[in-house]
Structure 1
Amino acid sequence: RIDIHRKENAGAAEKPITIHSTPEGCSTACKIIMEIMQKEAQDTKFTEEIPLKILAHNNFVGRLIGKEGRNLKKIEQDTDTKITISP
């Protein structure tokens, strides 16, 4: 199930999207959402990178970052991305 929170952020440039599924289902949904956003960007000549923002529960952020940031650095290297985690 995918929820787009339109009412909470009426008029905002960005809208939170919540995906409820297994990890595999969430990954597939994210991939499809990004493909749609890329197509829209091409169709409208949008030239900037398309950011994807994810909310992670605070209990899991430490594991994501890893000791001395190793996990996060590896993900960035493996995927050729820049990932920022807000304090």
Structure 2
Amino acid sequence: MREIDRIDELILELLRKSEKPMSTYKIAKEAKLAWSTVNIHCYKLKSFGLLEEKTTISPIGQKKVMWKLTARTPTLDKFMKRK
């Protein structure tokens, strides 16, 4: 069964509070987690259909992945751990 863990919940909460999509770096910085940890969890949440990603490339060629909640995100309950 697919489950949402504490880190996933933190990422979802940060994105809920944000008015705009957030980069992996910004999520990591605000959550005080490693970029690689956030990256893995964002792709996990994307596979659940809870996040959407958009990749942008800056004028100097730097790739940035932006994350936002999907319309399906309110259906989180079926993914949440029973406490």
Q: Same fold (TM over 0.5)?
A: no
- Higher share of residues assigned helix: 1
Larger-gyration structure (1/2):
1
TM-score, normalized by length of structure 1? Answer: 0.32
TM-score, normalized by length of structure 2? Answer: 0.33
Higher RCO by CA contacts (8 Å cutoff, separation 6 or greater): 2
- Higher share of residues assigned strand: 2
